Amino acid sequence: MSEPLSLQKHTNGHYCLSGELDRDTVPPFWRRRVEWLPKEPQVLLDLSQVKRVDSAGMAMLLHLQQQLTVNQQTLVLSQIPAQLRVLLQLSNIEELFTDDKSSVDGE
């Protein structure tokens, strides 16, 4: 069974996502987004504690990006796991999340 997703707020606009970002955990987590959707204009999402990610997890991040854009917010991903980095690169969409190459590379 997948480890549930959890979102912790650290400082202004800095959040950490932990658990497994996959087809089992994404639907219940996304349904509760009204409880956790960030309000800050700039959101930094640290993914260093994400243990596994699949295409459903990538899709959730795309939907999050879209929701924040509609709300005139920006999303920057940091510490992107290798699995997600490959999915983003294969889909040619890594630039949607950040202009900061170091964040995409996880450096």
Which residues is 20 bridged to in the sheet? 52
Range name among 6-10, 15-19, 42-46, 103-107 with the lowest pLDDT average: 103-107
Read off the pLDDT of each residue in 19-27 and give the average, rounded to a whole number: 96
**How many CB atoms neighbour CB 16 within 10 A?**
18
Show the CA angle centred on residue 70, arms to residues 41 and 22, nearest 5°.
90
8 Å CB contact between 38 and 15? yes
Read off the pLDDT of each residue in 5-18 and give the average, rounded to a whole number: 94
Half-sphere exposure of 98 (CA within 13 A, CB side): 22
Query: What's the pLDDT tens digit per position in 59-102?
Result: 999 999 999 999 999 999 999 999 999 999 999 988 876 544 44
Range name among 16-25, 40-49, 91-100 with the lowest pLDDT average: 91-100
8 Å CB contact between 76 and 45? yes
Give the alpha-carbon dihedral of 47, 104, 78, 86, to 10 degrees: 0
Whether 22 has a pLDDT exceeding 90, the answer reads yes
Whether 104 has a pLDDT exceeding 50, the answer reads no
> Per-residue confidence at 2, pLDDT binned at 50, 70, 90?
confident
